[in-house]
Structure 1
Amino acid sequence: MSSELAKSQISSTIVDSIEDLKGTHHGFRRAHARGFVYEAVFTPNGAAAPFTTAPHLQGEPVRATVRFSHTDANPHAADSDRAVRGFATKFHLTDGTNTDLVMVSVERFVAATPEEFVEFIKAAKADTDAQDPSVPHIKSFVGAHPTVGPALVAAKTIAIPVSYATTQYWAIHAFLWRDADGVVRPVRYSWVPEAGIVDASDSESWTPHHLTEELRDRLPVSFVLRVQFGEPGDPTHDSTVAWPADRRTVDVGRIEITKESPDQEHWQSQVFDPTSLVDGIEPSDDPVLAARSTIYAVSYDRRSHQR
């Protein structure tokens, strides 16, 4: 079996498993189903230029499109839920091409490989369906894959933010920056809110779309793009493991989100793909990252055909 065929098959299995766990909602993404899209401008500060030739990280401002989202597959999930949030960015380069950066409000993923992710979803489904709650399938999964424990704890205990603009987001995966001399360095990204990290003390009175409504009144909002540099021995292949907090970080630019996009319907149908990269940035050896483009393609095909 070719590697591409195997990737396609596991990607279809992942989407099947998500649908089995969460159900389907015609025309919506299989995850991050409900989101809202904004216009933005990213201004690099030049600090990345010695380390990567990526054009949007040099010196000139570039237009961007941002999608904030609730990660659930249900488009009617309430903003008062204790849930991971998404922050996807599409940078519009001057040559007419795009490059994407996809982040969520937790630092780690819940599986190190696509196959482990299928195991995780099936364990969650088994726990959901179990008549006997003394059979903890997720607990057994964590026992077999102990590095996923911190990610599950973080997702389960995550705070509800006051605003989309007051939480930090991470790209989860490692990427490789290549400089003009061909030197390669592993990096990880995060968006750090300039408004500070502020959690909600009470969300019970919120409307279902409170965070979108709150952001409408708050705009413009801004974030700093922070890059963490890996050192020898830091894993680039395993998104369940965070790098040590003492690794060097550099702030390389600022994004200002200015207004709601006037064409929500168009952008809701688009894909934000973390493997859509430009010269100067390369994917790491993370197998989950490698699979995401095919997973998104399967999801896109199903939602665009109203399955």
Structure 2
Amino acid sequence: MPATASPGQPRVCVPCRLAAIGAVVAALAGGFAYAAGWLTPQRLTAQTVIDQFQHNAGQHPGFRRNHAKGVCIAGYFDSNGAAASLSKAAVFAPGRTPVIGRLAIPGGNPTAPDGSVPIRSMALQFTQADGQQWRTGMNSTPMFAVRTPEQFYRQLKAAQPDPATGKPDPARMKAFLAANPAAQALQAWLKQHPPSSSYANGSYHSINAFYLVDTKGQRHAVRWTMRPEQPYAPLSDVDKGVPSRLADELSQRLASGPLRWHLLLTLAAPGDPTDDATQAWPAGRRQVDAGTLVVERAHAQDDGACRDINFDPTILPAGIAPSADPLLAARSAAYALSHQRRTREVALGAR
């Protein structure tokens, strides 16, 4: 995760930005969580959440605390200019912007079989010619299971393995789902949408809402999706048993040429929620195809360019702004602490 943020970037809070570039120490975790606006009376902090990830997955020094297993990608974004009227960000002007990214699966175990989870993720860093960056982390689901950091922490607690079995207690997870109907909605969606057979043929969604800001200062609420040119196919039962099927298959596809996704910007209508990631916007909202992501190369994450990037979704160029979704501040704080821990572990000889 890069250790610098571009000058002039809008930030949620200075401590979060400093944490994201590795300039603070773990003792400030509570401080930046408070500044980010998600420290609760129950003392829920970035440290509490990241510690819970470690309880669930075990200790894996040098790796991300979530989405630990992945592969680096590199290429460029070819903007067609269609979104230039909606945002003054240079990334939307006609032309190419270099991109470094990462494809991964959720979870804190870097050796987990690819078939162990039904979700894939895509994280990207666009670097504009003026040095400003746009970082985004997307999932293969169009909504999230919970609305608030507190609910997310309770979900992690419910999924904590029972020491006697090494697996989550079904009763605890059932109780969590009963208390959180939105999480049930996501489970229902996953049953209707089997995981893709490849990183290359899956769609990836921002889930959280943001604002595009045009040259007149007008704000346009938006979510985005990376839609692949490769046709979707579900993961087969046979491939579920291949531990690293996704990375291997990606390399095979890239040997035949670049892979492409279209960046679709979905604009909110009046009344569409911008602070609740559990609610997908209705079909039929205006969409703008802003251009094409072209992935040319993939590299192992151990030494790839994505290894040290903090894909904090609140690192944004002028022309893109965060919404009031409480998960965004929480993600920024948690990603920063995860980055601080793993880069320190690497410096001490891990991996």
TM-score, normalised with respect to structure 2: 0.80
Structure 2 segments unaligned to the other structure (5+ residues): 1-29
Whole-angstrom CA distance in 2 between matches of 1:211 and 1:263: 14
Q: How many residues in Structure 1 have an aligned counterpart in Structure 2?
A: 306
Whole-angstrom CA distance in 2 between matches of 1:290 and 1:139: 28
Whole-angstrom CA distance in 2 between matches of 1:231 and 1:225: 19
Q: State the 1:269 CA deviation.
A: 2.4
Does 1:144 find its partner at 2:179?
yes
Structure 1 match to 2:35: 4
Give the letter for the 2:53 counterpart. I
Q: State the 1:77 CA deviation.
A: 1.0
**Aligned with 2:280 (options 242, 245, 257):** 242
Structure 2 match to 1:103: 138
Does 1:16 find its partner at 2:42?
no
**Aligned with 2:194 (options 159, 162, 170):** 159
**Matched-pair contact (CA < 8 Å) for 2:105–2:120:** yes
- Structure 1 segments of 4+ aligned residues over 6 angstroms from their partners: 126-131
Structure 1 segments unaligned to the other structure (5+ residues): none
Q: Among all aligned residue pairs of Structure 1 and Structure 2, give the percentage whose two residues are the same amino acid.
A: 34
Aligned ranges for residues 201-216 of structure 1 at < 5 Å?
Answer: 201-204=236-239, 207-216=242-251
**Matched-pair contact (CA < 8 Å) for 2:71–2:300:** no
Shift of the 59–129 alpha-carbon distance from structure 1 to 2, 3 Å rule, reads farther
Q: What per-residue deviation string (whole Å, max 9, x for no partner) do you get for residues 121-178 of structure 1?
A: 11222778799x9972233323333222212333566523221111111111000111
Give the letter for the 2:198 counterpart. S
Give the letter for the 2:298 counterpart. E
Structure 2 match to 1:27: 62
Structure 2 match to 1:228: 266
Shift of the 119–204 alpha-carbon distance from structure 1 to 2, 3 Å rule, reads same
TM-score, normalised with respect to structure 1: 0.91
Q: What per-residue deviation string (whole Å, max 9, x for no partner) do you get for residues 168-216 of structure 1?
A: 1111100011111111111001110001222233434753222111111
Q: What per-residue deviation string (whole Å, max 9, x for no partner) do you get for residues 206-251 of structure 1?
A: 5322211111121211000011111111111111111111211111
Q: Secondary structure at the match of 1:61?
A: strand
Aligned ranges for residues 1-307 of structure 1 at < 5 Å?
Answer: 3-4=34-35, 7=38, 10-125=45-160, 136-155=171-190, 158-204=193-239, 207-219=242-254, 220-261=258-299, 265=303, 266-306=305-345
Shift of the 135–30 alpha-carbon distance from structure 1 to 2, 3 Å rule, reads closer
Shift of the 147–204 alpha-carbon distance from structure 1 to 2, 3 Å rule, reads closer
Give the letter for the 1:285 counterpart. A
Q: State the 1:82 CA deviation.
A: 3.8
Shift of the 183–135 alpha-carbon distance from structure 1 to 2, 3 Å rule, reads same
